[in-house]
Amino acid sequence: MLKLNQQIETFFSAHPAERYFLACSGGIDSMVLASLMLAQALPLELVHVNYGLRGDESDKDQLFLDEFCQRHCIPFHAKKVNLREFLNEHGGNLQEEARKVRYAFFEEILVNHGAKVVLAHHADDQVETFFLNLARGGGMMGLSGMLAAHGHYLRPLLPFRKQQLLDYAHQHGLTWREDRTNAESYYSRNKLRNMILPELGASFPDLVDQITFLTHIFQENQADLEKRMALMIAEFSPKHFIPLDKYDSLNELERIELLRQFNLPLGILPEVNKLAKAEKGKVLNFSGTAPGRLIREQSGFYVEVGDLDQHKHPGTLEIEANATLPEVFSKSAIYLNPNLISGDIQLRFWQVGDRMKPIGMNGSKLISDIITDAKVPHHLRQAQRVLVDDHRILWCVGHAVSREAIAKLGHPCIKVTVND
């Protein structure tokens, strides 16, 4: 048991904070960690989320922790939600939604207080995570498992087995709450914990030690990979552009890390590889928590993540009557003869088939050809705006002006300015 105490002292000496918020369910893992931290006289506060999934049992968990905090004179932060009701209304995976609620609460506490959140994951949890990520094709990032320290989150118990925590709890007469759903094997993690890993462990007694060693190696390699890729990405990420020559130089692991650091779904990697060989203008749409698209340009990919309808409004017009022609024209304003305008003028995005009669040429020209000749990147083309009256296009904003209603010296003149 001395080893556990020594680990806690050494770990928190390496990760100091003014206060520590221990995420506590009331189960044996978090109660052992609470006892260890109290023994070290660390500035401890408990954080608990009551999901209301087990009725009175959930409320008793919260009451148990409240009483524990009162006995030890430590602050208690609890959040109660009706997760079942939320799932009935909105759908979703129970464990995933519970995790979202939990971490949103942690982030709220961190913002309001500043500190570190302590989690009671141990070596057996790490093995479960390893196999789950292996089954999901998580790559080296997934196989690296959970980090002992990541940002404001700490996991001091990762070196220890569940049995070591049980031994400590019994030796020190600790009490805790049992969650009966942990014995059910409906969810993948519980099935691993209750059925698959015990059988594997019986045949391979060193399984946990071997997996722990592997995750450590993967973590070291992943950390090195993240640093190398971050240095490369810093060169071009502000422009949301991935140069093709850089992408072609990467191996598959580096490409996975590239997607991750750009907040792109890792599962689209095969499609991105195809896009790298496609002609410019090709688009790869992707969905998920952050939907978006990749657009193939001449020398690489342009990345759009988030709202793909960000160009819903083309902007506004500012019209100045009785204007005079300037000596120097700008790309953000046009000068028209109001007597040659049919009806009202308005600003809109261009559409396929749009055509105008530009100054300096006979006949007409497609807007698509105008922006192609102007070398407008494909990812910006959907946002190209045109000024129109009731019958024709008067201006391809920033690129071409129609000769049909342009103002001339000695004639009436209005100035039309486009504002974003």
> Cα–Cα distance between 202 and 293 in angstroms, integer?
47
235, 236, 237, 241: CA torsion to nearest 10: -170
How large a percentage of the chain has pLDDT more than 90?
48
End-to-end CA distance of the chain: 66
CB atoms < 10 A from the CB of 404, how many? 20
Model confidence band, residue 187 (pLDDT cutoffs 50, 70, 90): low
- What integer is the mean pLDDT of 40-50? 95
- What integer is the mean pLDDT of 352-366? 92
pLDDT for res 71: 96
Which residues, other chains included, contact 293 with Cβ-Cβ below 8 Å and sequence gap of 6+? 283, 284, 285, 286, 304, 308
pLDDT for res 199: 79
The DSSP bridge partners found for residue 150 are 153
- Does residue 163 register a pLDDT over 60? yes
Fold exhibited by the domain 2-208: Rossmann fold (3.40.50)
Average pLDDT of the chain is 87
Burial label for 31, CB within 10 Å (0-12, 13-18, 19+), is buried
Q: Give the pLDDT confidence of 267-301 residue by residue, as tens digits.
A: 899 999 999 999 988 889 888 667 888 989 888 99
Phi first, then psi, for residue 105 (nearest 5°) are: -65, -45
Model confidence band, residue 186 (pLDDT cutoffs 50, 70, 90): low
> Cα–Cα distance between 69 and 14 in angstroms, integer?
26
Q: Give the pLDDT confidence of 48-104 residue by residue, as tens digits.
A: 999 888 888 999 999 999 999 999 999 999 999 888 887 777 777 777 888 888 999
- What integer is the mean pLDDT of 159-163? 92
- What integer is the mean pLDDT of 248-256? 91
Model confidence band, residue 312 (pLDDT cutoffs 50, 70, 90): low
Q: What is the CATH number of domain 316-419?
A: 3.50.40.10
> Cα–Cα distance between 105 and 392 in angstroms, integer?
55
- Residue spans of the domains in the chain: they are 2-208, 235-305, 316-419
Q: Give the pLDDT confidence of 322-336 residue by residue, as tens digits.
A: 888 988 888 889 999
Model confidence band, residue 137 (pLDDT cutoffs 50, 70, 90): low
pLDDT for res 251: 93
pLDDT for res 158: 93
- Does residue 195 register a pLDDT over 90? no
pLDDT for res 2: 58
Which residue is listed with tokens 């072609």? 248
> Cα–Cα distance between 185 and 192 in angstroms, integer?
8
Is residue 59 within 8 Å of residue 65, measured between CB atoms? no
280, 284, 289, 290: CA torsion to nearest 10: 10
Question: Greater confidence, 259 or 36?
Answer: 36
List C-alpha distances in Å: 258 to 239, 241, 249, 339: 15, 12, 12, 56
pTM of the model: 0.62
Model confidence band, residue 306 (pLDDT cutoffs 50, 70, 90): low
How large a percentage of the chain has pLDDT more than 70?
95
Task: Please name which of 83, 1, 12 lies closest in space to residue 42, comparing C-alpha atoms.
Answer: 12
